[in-house]
Structure 1
Amino acid sequence: MTLSARFLKIGPARLFVHVCVLLIVIIWLIPTLGIFVSAVRDKDQIVVSGWWTAFAGSTRTVAARLGTADQQKQEGATYVISGNLLEGQDGRSLKAFGTRIQQPSAYQAGETANLGEGLSLQVNEDGTYRYMKNAAFTDDDAGRRVYVAVSTPPEFTLQNYKTVLTGEGIGQSFINSLTVTIPATIIPILIAAFAAYALSWMEFPGRALLIALVVGLIVVPLQMSLIPLLRLYNMVGSAFDVPSKTYPGIWLAHTAFGMPLAIFLLRAYIAGLPKEIIESARVDGASDFEIFVRIVLPLSFPALASFAIFQFLWVWNDLLVAMVFLGTDRQHLVLTGALNALLGSRGGNWEILTASAFVTIVVPLLVFFGLQRYLVRGLLAGSVKGG
């Protein structure tokens, strides 16, 4: 079947949906692509041109000075000062030049500019120049400032990443973020899985009330519960002489904030598992723990993976909870906190900021693309049940 025939078979409605999805994907990818390209560009090129021109090179205007009077040579009746304005800058070419800041590109490369009072200047594309006068140069004539438009070929480097990971503290913050995120993702999944199984397949008084409570806790804003939780945490720490600003504290905080959604998603999936499998296992003498470990957990992997994506991304991108429970000292600062600090101290260094930003998003991207095939299956769990 040809491509056109396939499009006709899709139908206009589905084709419209596919086109809209494609446009959304492209719009989301453009900023990520821009960050990646800018992070490997030379810092001087980032300042003068956008990332979309990275493969076409860039042109910027720089100031230079011509030679001094003691460098002049007499050629017949003309005195000449010569040299190269691009000396030591291999691969670059000169497009235009000028003698006034208001008109830095008044003359094209190779053109001879008449500067008046017997002075003329010729600057070639390779940077060589001839500064000429019909009389001997004086100190006032020589050493003149000129402005040249220099074309630079594309330059890519990994030095930006090296600077970020070794000199800006991002490497330590990267480890801190992993230390916070991995346990804060695993702990709520384990606890919520047990709770979801109990709310789905175990009969006990108050089960319906607990389910309603879990659904209600989902809509409670984090900011509303943050201060009471912090006060409780400090009280417990003072009572048992436990130091504040520790990793177990932030693990428990993220576990508390993520638990309602985790129980809700996992219960929807586990409740939709075939009832015959659970009943057959009980007839064979399996306990609830054995049913949960050997049957429910393996069958619930799509739901576990879907929540793991949400929890990992939320904890990894978190700044507020990390600053409250870990503080802002360099030994405990997470990646988002370090990037926020760079915005204040290195706000003009785009090469540092883009490299830091890409380091921040690369792990969530890997997690998402590694588990995204389970995402839709986990989110749609329980919405449709077989007869």
Structure 2
Amino acid sequence: MRRWFGNGLVQAFLVVVSLVWVTPLAGLFLSSMRTTQENSASGWWTALTSPGQLSFDNYSTLLGNAGITQAFWNTVLISVPTTTLVVVIAALAGYAFAWLEFPGRDWLFLLVVALLVVPVQVGLLPVAQLFGQLGLFGTIPGVVLFHVAYGLPFAIFLLRNYFAEIPREMLEAARMDGGSEWRIFTRLVLPVGRPAIASLAIFQFLWVWNDMLVALLFADSSSQPLTVELQSQIRQFGSNMDVLAPGAFLSLIVPVVVFFAFQRHFVQGVMAGSVK
């Protein structure tokens, strides 16, 4: 495109695409700072010419809502441990599948790959019955365990393939220097695999943070995350944008901050292997 149209036209196209993506976010933010009556009477874009409509009263009311704040912290308590467990277990398993020799390694990895095609809906009812017998149904640990179990196949597959691209000579040199497998893993493999690990952490965090299906089934009123709490706030007759808009923006801004915090590593992970 640069060769055919020049840099100016390509940059203009990218600006248009960016505006298309940013416009809904801007509309949500402006709607979250307007009253219900103003949102019902006119569109959010009128706030651009009448900034007096905007205030943080909705956010003050939202943060004073005990259900919303509890759901927000529940979401944190679900997303952070799930992401940490998936990354740690997948990194250990990926290194083992890539560089350790043990009986049945290839068959076990084939089983992990086969689990990628199992839809999450298949395991909802059997796991719910199992969690009920174990006393985990309706608890945060139960939701975390479910997300970890279904997040591990893809995570192991991703990290194993990334770790397998590490030159064998690097690992052999580390072993010749007397390095143990654990030392090689922590001092060599993890730093080299940081782009892939960061990409996996971002994807896993976003999947769990935005999940509502699993939380609807496995979480009760004391452990439900923000997505379920916002869904329960929808009124049957009437608009409650004063709750939904700021709550949705609060739910959205955290993943955006996480993405930009790890953006450099994420781009490196996406581009890994594209050039030699």
Whole-angstrom CA distance in 1 between matches of 2:211 and 2:78: 10
Do 1:265 and 1:379's aligned partners in 2 also have CA atoms closer than 8 Å?
A: no
TM-score (norm 1): 0.66
Whole-angstrom CA distance in 2 between matches of 1:335 and 1:39: 16
Amino acid corresponding to residue 190 of structure 2 in structure 1:
L
Whole-angstrom CA distance in 1 between matches of 2:165 and 2:29: 42
Check if 1:324 corresponds to 2:217. yes
Q: Deviations over 1:76-125 (max 9, x none)?
A: xxxxxxxxxxxxxxxxxxxxxxxxxxxxxxxxxxxxxxxxxxxxxxxxxx
Which of the pair is proportionally richer in helix? 2
> 2:169 corresponds to which residue?
276
Greater radius of gyration (CA): 1
Q: CA deviation at 1:169?
A: 2.0
Q: Pick from 84, 88, 105: which aligns with 1:186?
A: 84
Q: CA deviation at 1:164?
A: 1.3
Q: Pick from 131, 136, 151: which aligns with 1:258?
A: 151
Whole-angstrom CA distance in 2 between matches of 1:380 and 1:211: 25
Q: Deviations over 1:221-244 (max 9, x none)?
A: 110122222233333x1xxxx453
Q: Pick from 249, 255, 268: which aligns with 1:377?
A: 268
Which of the pair is proportionally richer in strand? 1
Q: Residues 173 and 346 (structure 1 numbering): CA distance in 2 closer, same or farther, change over 3 Å? A: farther
Whole-angstrom CA distance in 1 between matches of 2:143 and 2:66: 24
Check if 1:291 corresponds to 2:180. no
Q: Residues 168 and 56 (structure 1 numbering): CA distance in 2 closer, same or farther, change over 3 Å? A: farther
> 1:312 corresponds to which residue?
205
Q: CA deviation at 1:372?
A: 1.9
Most deviating of 290-299 and 357-366 = 290-299
Q: Match of 1:209, SS? A: helix
Amino acid corresponding to residue 360 of structure 1 in structure 2:
S
> 2:252 corresponds to which residue?
361
Q: Deviations over 1:40-98 (max 9, x none)?
A: 124332222111111323xxxxxxxxxxxxxxxxxxxxxxxxxxxxxxxxxxxxxxxxx
Uncovered stretches (5+) of structure 2, i.e. residues with no partner: none
Whole-angstrom CA distance in 1 between matches of 2:66 and 2:238: 13
Amino acid corresponding to residue 11 of structure 1 in structure 2:
R
Q: Residues 362 and 53 (structure 1 numbering): CA distance in 2 closer, same or farther, change over 3 Å? A: same
Query: Which has the higher relative contact order, 1 or 2, with Cα contacts under 8 A spaced 6 or more apart?
Result: 2
Q: CA deviation at 1:380?
A: 4.2
Check if 1:198 corresponds to 2:190. no
Q: CA deviation at 1:14?
A: 7.5
Number of residue pairs matched by the alignment: 275
> 1:221 corresponds to which residue?
119
TM-score (norm 2): 0.91
Q: CA deviation at 1:375?
A: 1.8
> 1:79 corresponds to which residue?
none
Q: Match of 1:213, SS? A: helix
Check if 1:158 corresponds to 2:158. no
Uncovered stretches (5+) of structure 1, i.e. residues with no partner: 1-6, 58-152
Whole-angstrom CA distance in 2 between matches of 1:347 and 1:377: 47
Whole-angstrom CA distance in 2 between matches of 1:176 and 1:334: 5
Q: Match of 2:153, SS? A: helix
Do 2:128 and 2:137's aligned partners in 1 also have CA atoms closer than 8 Å?
A: no
> 2:32 corresponds to which residue?
39
Q: Percent identity?
A: 42
Do 2:79 and 2:208's aligned partners in 1 also have CA atoms closer than 8 Å?
A: yes
Q: Pick from 53, 56, 74: which aligns with 2:49?
A: 56
